[in-house]
Amino acid sequence: MLESYVTPLLMSYVNKYIKNLKPSDLQLSLWGGDVVLSKLDLKLDVLEQELKLPFTFLSGHIHELRIHVPWTKLGSEAVVITINTMECILKLRDGAQERCFEVGQREAHCRRKDNNNKTLFTQRRSTACRH
């Protein structure tokens, strides 16, 4: 009975990131409270949107996803989701390497400029102290 409320809630979270997941895949045991799913394919487009990394996901898999629901203490204990081995193949986005290089060059230029300003400030301050 409680399972009928928790299962759709869990499905809404897990289904966001996993391809081809069916509610029957998440059949929960009232007393055990554990669900183990194996060999899952990730929704790569969702990961790219959420993570906003300079990479493109070429593939992504989870070898084992374990969901533990503490049925008898649901009000006081957390639902625990454990991922055992997540494997992703990534590719640097086109132009991302050049952008990283440009940002690195700009930061180095700013640091040099900053160091020069600190040197000038220190020289002025020490000159002012001598008079």
pLDDT at site 125? 42
pLDDT at site 119? 45
Q: How far is Cα 98 from Cα 102, in angstroms, rounded to an integer?
A: 6
Residue pLDDT tens, the chain, 131 long? 566 777 788 888 888 999 988 877 776 665 567 888 889 999 999 999 999 889 899 999 999 999 888 878 888 999 899 999 999 999 998 875 665 555 555 566 555 555 555 544 444 444 444 44
Contacts of 35 (CB under 8 A, 6+ apart): 25, 26, 27, 28, 66, 67, 69
pLDDT at site 104? 58
Phi, psi of 70 (to 5 degrees): -80, 80
Query: Beta strands 34-41 and 80-92: pairing type?
Result: unpaired
Give the bridge partners for 37, in sequence order.
Answer: 65
Cα 130 to its chain centre, rounded Å, is: 56
CA angle 114, 119, 125 (to 5 degrees): 125
pLDDT at site 57? 93
pLDDT at site 42? 95
pLDDT at site 102? 59
Tokens standing for 129? 């102290």
Q: Where are the beta strands (DSSP E) in the chain?
A: 34-41, 55-68, 80-92
pLDDT at site 72? 81
pLDDT at site 59? 95
